[in-house]
């Protein structure tokens, strides 16, 4: 009986030793992975910072101004002026044809003008 | 346990027979028993002591060994801790109010030489001089062959330069990683940002420290790792800053000015939306301060903050507003404006010796910019009250703005505030302040009458400061300034839709050794818009401007600073989201309703 117990505990010790050995290597691998990831995060952050700096550099107002001037014929961009602010009532809405009931959609008004406001 | 008897019968009997005292036997046995007991307990105590000492020895040995290990081993990051802490740059970014980058970091390399490791010194010197034209081959070779063992060659390298140096292939030429400060917008906001340089330098890294402006004022904040890389957000709006600089630069060239400065301030919060001083510099390559000559001529000089000038008639509104606040005058009160006015040995004249008098309404004193009228009003107020009022508005102290240059720019005024000072200060002479002072003063006076503190930091909610003047006085002052633009000296300042109000100021520049130049002016226009519901204050100052478009050069602010300011407002107000105020023509408004 006693010898069986001895043999069993010897196997248990060997099993545990193998498990501990295995865990040790897994832990070291995980640490290496973390380190690798940290390094990668650092590198990514660095390149992100460089990209952000480059984005800011390429979008500097001076350069955008030059680009707008160079492409004026194509884009026709001008500085924002007060006249470009509009109001809702200054918009002309698209004319829908069946606005007068019973006339159908083939009814066309010649020389239509857009009218707004009260009747005189 | 069998104990030895103290009085064994056999020995007792024998002793009695021999006639001895049997008690001696008992005493002897007792002694022996006690000796045995003593030996046993000593053994036990000694054993316990031994165990305890072994325990203590082990404990101290453990502590000592750990200490020795910690002292002798290389420091190492705790690797098992997967910390969430971000890897952040050494110095935080600076952004504008919308989060656009004004200053950030770049990663680059420095170049240094370990002279004993160098193989071909003449070749290295020759090639380095080819890559960097500002290096001298002869001097490099001297350094390489001299006594020095270590030598910095360049603080920062471009990637191309790094590759070229790498291609030399000398093992003694080494690169050290560097974080460098980058200002992607170049000259824009140069004076505000200031610049940065390297502090203590090592092979593996170097400190980046601010040298001027916001970079120096917030050096500790920007370098504090506890902030976790949180950027410093300024109140500056990059777009507006760009438009303002462009217009001001054009205006400076058109008006043949030596320099120009402008401050655009939120009238309620005191946030500086834009601040430009020309000529300016590139903070990426900050010039070294000139050791000779006038520092005000250097591009490093921030005219808006450091430029302490006599700001001329722009000060008149303060005297007028104070007299209205004190109830001495109303907007329509007629005051004596008969020019020239004699006071002691001084004669107060109007512009070009005109006479607007004999009587002018208070509004017309501002509209026509009458020195005499303002002087009379100031004399009613008195020196003490005038000085106190200007002190409350911040004209007697340096501005509290968050720049390292600000505390050095103290206003200049006579220590003895006599009556003639009262008179001249009322129209902006004899007291010198910076354009930023003026912007803060105008904001405080015209925003409804509460004090604002100029700031370069973005603020969400600002509680109104202490009251300076009543709402009515503030509104009346705005009306007067509006009249200046509608029918007064600043007629070029009108911008349709923005109800610009403002006051011109033309002051002769003082000579360095006393007296004033006749043909050199500081022209200022202090504007507020829109006057009905004020949002922004704009100060435009031009140094030695003159409009040469006609036969006679015109050097007044109305011809120089005002048209530039008008263009600034026309360009920047839409960018600030200000909707032009359109006069209603009686159309019924369409209301957007949801369905």
Which CATH number is B144's domain given? Answer: 3.90.1310.10
Quote the CA–CA distance of B312 and B508 in Å, as a whole number.
Answer: 9
- Cβ of residue A57 closer than 8 Å to a chain B Cβ: yes
Pick from A49-63, B351-365, B459-473: least confident:
B351-365
Residue B125 forms part of a structural domain: yes
pLDDT of residue A104: 55
Section B353-370 average pLDDT: 84
Do residues B189 and B328 share a domain?
Answer: no
* Residue numbers of the domain that contains B225: 94-233
Residue B77 forms part of a structural domain: no
Do residues B160 and B303 share a domain?
Answer: no
pLDDT of residue B591: 55
Do residues B120 and B245 share a domain?
Answer: no
Selecting among B110, B274, B277, B313, the annotated active-site residue is: B313
Three-state SS at B501: strand
Work out the minimum CA distance from B80 to partner chain A, whole angstroms: 6
Three-state SS at B47: helix
pLDDT of residue B590: 54
- Cβ of residue A78 closer than 8 Å to a chain B Cβ: no
Quote the CA–CA distance of B184 and B106 in Å, as a whole number.
Answer: 10
Do residues B331 and B473 share a domain?
Answer: yes
Do residues B226 and B323 share a domain?
Answer: no
Beta bridge partners of B323: none
Q: Are strands B516-529 and B359-361 parallel, antiparallel or unpaired?
A: unpaired
pLDDT of residue B48: 97
A85 contacts B184? CB cut-off 8 A? no
Residue B11 forms part of a structural domain: no
Chain A residues touching residue B497 (CB < 8 angstroms):
82
Report whether pLDDT(A120) > 50: no
pTM assigned to the model = 0.78
Section B325-330 average pLDDT: 88
> Which positions 171-200 of B are in contact with A (Cβ < 8 Å)?
182, 184-186, 188
pLDDT of residue B438: 93
pLDDT of residue B240: 94
pLDDT of residue B1: 63
Residue B314 forms part of a structural domain: yes
Domain boundary among B171, B198, B233: B233
Do residues B276 and B218 share a domain?
Answer: no
- In this prediction, residue B456 has a pLDDT band, given cuts at 50, 70 and 90, of very high
A87 contacts B582? CB cut-off 8 A? yes
Quote the CA–CA distance of B426 and B386 in Å, as a whole number.
Answer: 8
pLDDT digits (tens, 9 = 90+) for B30-75: 999 999 999 999 999 999 999 999 999 999 999 999 999 999 988 7
- In this prediction, residue B83 has a pLDDT band, given cuts at 50, 70 and 90, of low
pLDDT of residue B199: 85
- Cβ of residue A84 closer than 8 Å to a chain B Cβ: yes
pLDDT of residue A1: 82
Section B297-311 average pLDDT: 88
Tokens of B306: 């450091």
- Cβ of residue B587 closer than 8 Å to a chain A Cβ: yes
Which CATH number is B278's domain given? Answer: 3.40.710.10
Residue B398 vs residue A100, higher pLDDT: B398
Chain A residues touching residue B229 (CB < 8 angstroms):
none
For helices B371-381 and B383-392, angle between their N-to-C axes, nearest 10 degrees: 100
- Cβ of residue A69 closer than 8 Å to a chain B Cβ: no
Q: What are phi and psi of B310, to 5 degrees?
A: -75, 125
Do residues B290 and B368 share a domain?
Answer: yes
**Alpha carbon of B499 to those of B472, B566, B573, B574: distances in Å?**
18, 11, 11, 14
Helix (H) or strand (E) holding B214: helix B213-217
The pLDDT mean for chain A works out to 83
Nearest to A61 among B82, B242, B580 (CB): B242
Q: Which of B184, B242, B587 to mutate to test the interface with A (most CBs of A within 10 A)?
A: B184
Q: Is the dihedral of CA B496, B498, B503, B509 positive or negative?
A: negative
Residue B65 forms part of a structural domain: no
Work out the minimum CA distance from A5 to partner chain B, whole angstroms: 33
pLDDT of residue B78: 66
Quote the CA–CA distance of B579 and B497 in Å, as a whole number.
Answer: 8
Chain A residues touching residue B566 (CB < 8 angstroms):
none
- In this prediction, residue A4 has a pLDDT band, given cuts at 50, 70 and 90, of very high
Section B132-141 average pLDDT: 87
Q: Are strands B94-95 and B232-233 parallel, antiparallel or unpaired?
A: parallel
Do residues B363 and B275 share a domain?
Answer: yes
A49 contacts B105? CB cut-off 8 A? yes
Residue B409 vs residue B591, higher pLDDT: B409
Quote the CA–CA distance of B524 and B507 in Å, as a whole number.
Answer: 8
Tokens of B456: 């370069």
Domain boundary among B233, B261, B284: B233
- In this prediction, residue B142 has a pLDDT band, given cuts at 50, 70 and 90, of confident
Report whether pLDDT(B353) > 60: yes
Work out the minimum CA distance from B98 to partner chain A, whole angstroms: 13
Report whether pLDDT(A112) > 60: yes
Do residues B280 and B395 share a domain?
Answer: yes
Chain A residues touching residue B159 (CB < 8 angstroms):
none
Residue B28 forms part of a structural domain: no
Domain boundary among B200, B233, B266: B233
Section B212-218 average pLDDT: 91
pLDDT of residue A6: 94
Q: Which of B82, B158, B588 to mutate to test the interface with A (most CBs of A within 10 A)?
A: B82
Can B41 be counted among the known catalytic residues? Answer: no
How many distinct structural domains can be found in chain B? 2
Angle formed at CA B256 by CA B252 and CA B257, multiple of 5 degrees: 55
Do residues B431 and B311 share a domain?
Answer: yes
Residue-by-residue DSSP string for B313-368: GGGHHHHHHHHHHTTS--TT-EEE--SSEEETTEEE--GGG----SEEEHHHHHHH
CB atoms within 10 A of CB B150: 11
Do residues B244 and B220 share a domain?
Answer: no
Residue B341 forms part of a structural domain: yes
Quote the CA–CA distance of B509 and B506 in Å, as a whole number.
Answer: 9
- Cβ of residue B246 closer than 8 Å to a chain A Cβ: yes
Nearest to B87 among A27, A45, A61 (CB): A45
Quote the CA–CA distance of A91 and A115 in Å, as a whole number.
Answer: 11
B105 contacts A53? CB cut-off 8 A? yes
The residue in chain A having the minimum alpha-carbon distance to the alpha carbon of residue B77 is: A35
Section A21-30 average pLDDT: 94
pLDDT digits (tens, 9 = 90+) for B307-323: 888 888 899 999 999 99
Pick from B448-457, B516-525, B547-556: least confident:
B547-556
- CB proximity list for B378: less than 8 A, separation 6 or greater: B319, B386, B422, B423, B425, B426
Residue B17 forms part of a structural domain: no
Chain A residues touching residue B184 (CB < 8 angstroms):
53, 56-57, 60
- CB proximity list for B571: less than 8 A, separation 6 or greater: A79, A80, A81, B243, B244, B246, B247
The pLDDT mean for chain B works out to 87
pLDDT digits (tens, 9 = 90+) for B238-290: 999 999 999 999 999 998 899 999 999 999 999 999 999 989 999 988 888 87
B589 contacts A82? CB cut-off 8 A? no
Q: What are phi and psi of A96, to 5 degrees?
A: -100, 140
pLDDT of residue A108: 59
ipTM over 0.90: no
Quote the CA–CA distance of B272 and B275 in Å, as a whole number.
Answer: 7
pLDDT of residue B272: 94
Do residues B206 and B317 share a domain?
Answer: no
- Closest to B374 measured CA to CA, from B421, B327, B331, B425: B425
């Amino acid at each position: 009986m006693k010898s069986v117990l001895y043999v069993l505990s010897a196997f248990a010790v060997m099993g545990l030793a193998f498990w501990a050995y295995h865990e040790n290597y897994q832990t070291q691998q995980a640490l290496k992975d973390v380190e690798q990831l940290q390094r990668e995060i650092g590198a990514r952050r660095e390149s992100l910072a460089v990209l952000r700096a480059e984005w800011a550099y390429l979008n500097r107002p001076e350069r955008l101004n030059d680009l707008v001037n160079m492409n004026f014929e194509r884009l026709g961009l001008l500085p924002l002026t007060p006249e470009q602010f509009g109001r809702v009532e200054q918009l002309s809405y698209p004319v829908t044809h069946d606005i007068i009931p019973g006339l159908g959609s083939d009814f066309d008004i010649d020389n239509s003008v857009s009218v707004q406001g009260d009747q005189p | 346990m069998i104990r030895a008897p103290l009085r064994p019968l056999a020995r007792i009997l024998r002793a009695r027979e021999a006639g001895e005292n049997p008690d001696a036997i008992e005493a002897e046995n007792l002694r022996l028993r006690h000796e045995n007991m003593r030996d046993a307990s000593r053994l036990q105590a000694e054993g316990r002591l031994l165990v305890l000492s072994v325990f203590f020895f082990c404990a101290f040995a453990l502590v000592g060994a750990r200490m020795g290990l910690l002292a002798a081993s290389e420091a190492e990051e705790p690797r098992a801790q997967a910390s969430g802490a971000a890897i952040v740059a050494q110095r935080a970014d600076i952004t504008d109010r919308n989060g656009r980058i004004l200053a950030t970091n770049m990663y680059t390399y420095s170049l240094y030489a370990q002279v004993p490791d160098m193989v071909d010194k003449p070749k290295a010197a020759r090639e380095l001089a080819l890559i960097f034209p500002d290096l001298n081959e002869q001097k490099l070779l001297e350094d390489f062959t001299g006594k020095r063992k270590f030598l910095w060659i360049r603080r920062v390298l471009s990637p191309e330069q790094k590759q070229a140096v790498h291609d030399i292939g000398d093992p003694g030429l080494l690169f050290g990683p560097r974080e460098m400060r980058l200002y992607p917008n170049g000259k824009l906001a140069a004076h505000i940002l200031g610049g940065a340089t390297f502090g203590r330098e090592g092979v593996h890294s170097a400190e980046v420290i601010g040298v001027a402006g916001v970079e120096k004022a917030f050096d500790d904040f920007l370098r504090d790792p506890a902030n976790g890389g949180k950027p410093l957000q300024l109140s500056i709006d990059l777009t507006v800053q760009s438009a303002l600089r462009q217009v001001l630069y054009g205006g400076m060239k058109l008006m043949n000015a030596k320099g120009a400065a402008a401050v655009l301030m939120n009238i309620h919060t005191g946030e500086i939306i834009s601040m430009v001083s020309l000529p300016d510099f590139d903070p990426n390559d900050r010039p070294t301060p000139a050791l000779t000559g006038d520092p005000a001529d250097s591009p490093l000089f921030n005219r808006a903050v450091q430029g302490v000038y006599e700001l001329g008639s722009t000060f008149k509104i303060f005297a007028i507003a104070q007299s209205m606040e004190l109830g001495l005058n109303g907007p329509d009160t007629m005051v004596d404006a008969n020019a020239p006015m004699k006071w002691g040995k001084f004669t107060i004249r109007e512009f070009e010796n005109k006479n607007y008098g004999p009587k002018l309404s208070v509004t017309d004193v501002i509209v026509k910019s009458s020195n005499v009228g303002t002087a009379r009003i100031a004399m009613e107020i008195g020196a003490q009250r005038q000085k106190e009022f200007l002190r409350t508005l911040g004209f007697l102290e340096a501005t509290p703005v968050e720049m390292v240059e600000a505390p050095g720019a103290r206003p200049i005024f006579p220590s003895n505030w006599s009556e003639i000072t009262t008179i001249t200060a009322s129209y902006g002479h004899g007291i010198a302040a910076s354009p930023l002072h003026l912007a803060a003063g105008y904001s405080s006076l015209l925003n409804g009458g509460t004090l604002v503190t100029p700031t370069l930091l973005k603020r969400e909610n600002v509680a109104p400061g202490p009251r300076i003047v009543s709402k009515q006085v503030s509104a009346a002052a705005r009306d007067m300034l509006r009249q200046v633009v509608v029918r007064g000296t600043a007629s070029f300042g009108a911008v349709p839709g923005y109800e610009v109000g403002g006051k011109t100021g033309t002051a002769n520049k003082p000579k360095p050794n006393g007296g004033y130049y006749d043909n050199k002016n500081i022209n200022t226009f202090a504007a507020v818009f829109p006057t009905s519901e004020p949002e922004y204050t704009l100060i435009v100052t031009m140094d030695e401007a003159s409009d040469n478009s006609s036969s006679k050069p015109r050097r007044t602010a109305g011809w120089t600073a005002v048209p530039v300011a008008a263009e600034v407002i026309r360009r920047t107000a839409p960018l600030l989201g200000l909707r032009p105020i359109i006069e209603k023509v009686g159309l019924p408004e369409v209301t957007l309703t949801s369905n």
